[in-house]
Chains A and B, each alone.
Chain A
Amino acid sequence: MLTCKEVSFLASKKLDKKLTLREQIGFLFHMRICRLCRYYANDLKSLHLMMQKKGKTGRVLLSESTKLSEQSRARIKHAIDTVLSQ
């Protein structure tokens, strides 16, 4: 019988790789009897799906207020202008 600690690892690994048959059986058996692990696995899966969706829609996590500073903008502009004028 797997411990909750082991099952929490499998709940995460499951999102990255297909579990081996042995792991899968141990995982499913534990999930049937353990409410906390069901909750935990559920949340990890929700988080995983949400992050994947963010990736697909191209929506970056940072807000629109994250911007290049004026100095760095000027620096980059200078670098581009230098190449363009060559």
Chain B
Amino acid sequence: MTHELSLPEQWLPLYGDILFRYGVSRVRDSDIAEDLVQETLLAALKAKDNYIGQSSEKTWLIGILKHKIIDYFRKTSRENLQELDELSVAAEELGNDSFFNQKGSWLTNLSTWSKPEQSFEQEEFLAILEQCIERLSPHMAQLFILREVEDMSSEEICDVLSISTLNNLWVMLSRIRGQLRLCLDKNWINQ
């Protein structure tokens, strides 16, 4: 099945908000997401003659936005090259203190989530999850989304976000997941 494009004037009313939400959930900043939506639509305008209708218009536009997001990450991570790696080291040093005693054993008596699959479908859970992600630093949230939602490999993420070693990335991911787990545990009342 081949798809056809609607008039470019229609793109903003039809897909503006979808693209915006997609952008905000990845870059964690409304102003930047807005700019990326504009860049995406302008790039689409230039590229529309090359559209061969293999994917739907929406998928095509999101594809362009994805490239714009990756470009944005590459650009900004080069500028903040050291910041992220320093963060990871800091995370390693003091990060897990709150979870473990000096011998490295759990400080708290944690329990596990029962029937998480059911709760995961609830709107209320999603709102709490989003809040918990929002509490991470923007860098950490971006990293987490690239890994989990975009399913980028560890190697790709290190490249795009200029993280010096794979181990640094895994330390950060471990820290992020631990924080999110705790946040969900505390705030998710319906479990």
A contacts, CB < 8 Å to B: 3-6, 8-9, 11-13, 15-17, 36-40, 42-44, 46-48, 50-52, 54-55, 58, 60-64, 66-69, 72-73, 75-77, 79-81, 83-84
Contacts and interface: CB of A to CB of B under 8 A. Distances in A.
Contact of B38 (A48, A76, A81): A76
Nearest to A6: B104
Q: Give the secondary structure class of A's interface.
A: helix
Contacts, number: 148
B153 to A, nearest CB: 8
21 contacts: A3-B104, A4-B104, A5-B96, A5-B99, A8-B96, A8-B100, A40-B181, A42-B112, A43-B113, A47-B177, A47-B181, A48-B177, A51-B149, A55-B148, A64-B17, A66-B24, A67-B21, A75-B34, A76-B34, A80-B9, A83-B42
Nearest to B157: A16
A17 B17 contact: no
Interface string B126-145: 11011001000000000000
Contacts of B126: 61, 63
A39 B178 CA distance: 12
A12 B34 contact: no
